[in-house]
Amino acid sequence: MLKTLGVVDACRESCRSRPKMARKLGGKSVLEWVVRRATDCQRLDGVIVVACPGPDERVLSGLVPLDVPVFVGRAGDPLGCLAGALEEYPTEAAVRIGADSPFVDPTLVDRLVRDADVHPECDYVGYGSRDGQPAILSPVGLYAEWFRSAALHRAAKRARAAADRQQPTRYLYSHPEKFHVRLIPAPERIDRDDVRLRVDIEEDWEHTLAIFEAIGPDEMDWQRIADLLVHQPGLRNRMAALNRARARN
């Protein structure tokens, strides 16, 4: 059994048949880019991709490097698919990385795993935004989340609400009375209302390309992104407007 497995969660995107994972970033598909960011992490013992069943299964599998397994779940929701993946690939704990987060930072992932090692009582470890909410809910798009496999399996058996089934870790962090939840403060320089790095809509993709072209593939850490955005007030203002619109919806 592995100690910590990295899981690139493409389930929600594949369920909605969204083509954004096939778009090219530095000559690689977005999905391959996220997978390689995950394999760059020092504290993960392996990486898999999890997807939901659908007509685009074969296309999605073709976007993943050959050395990384793809698990296509047969459950009807992302939580069930993730639980099925952890049965197929047994591991003590897992780190979930969203397939819509091309700027996920390996150093932040490794910090999660180190923190979890220091706090063995925890069922869930994530970053926390300044508003007290799990940063995984923010549009910043740099973060991952760590959880114990046993806790995720309990959630899969108990969760009934549609929101808990669609966001596979929601049941964990929203029930601190049932699970030991720990949130690490997110880096202040990037934990801002005018930062939006997750790829959700077309304009997000345009921003992603602009950032990628400005920094380049070899220097893509969160500090350099923060430095770039400091000098791009127009881009930050637009990100802030998109975030406000998202919050209203």
Average pLDDT of every residue of the chain = 92
What percentage of the chain exceeds 70 in pLDDT?
96
Q: What is the pLDDT of residues 180-206, one digit of tens each?
A: 999 999 999 999 999 999 888 899 999
Quick one: tokens of 99? 């397939």
pTM: 0.94
pLDDT reported for residue 139: 93
Domain boundaries, the chain: 2-185
pLDDT reported for residue 26: 85
* Res 156 pLDDT > 90: yes
* Res 17 pLDDT > 70: no
Quick one: tokens of 204? 């997000």
Q: What is the C-alpha radius of gyration for the chain, rounded to an integer number of angstroms?
A: 17
Give 55's pLDDT tier (boundaries 50, 70, 90). Answer: low
Strands 91-98 and 70-72: unpaired
Q: How far apart are CA 143 and CA 161, in angstroms?
A: 24
Which residues have CB under 8 Å from 143's CB, separation 6+? 101, 104, 108, 126, 127, 135, 136, 186
2-185 homologous superfamily: Spore Coat Polysaccharide Biosynthesis Protein SpsA; Chain A (3.90.550.10)
Query: Counting Cβ atoms within 10 Å, is residue 249 exposed (0-12), middle (13-18) or buried (19+)?
Result: exposed
Give 126's pLDDT tier (boundaries 50, 70, 90). Answer: very high
* Res 117 pLDDT > 60: yes
How far, in Å, are 8, 39, 62 from residue 66 at the CA level? 15, 13, 8
* Res 18 pLDDT > 60: no
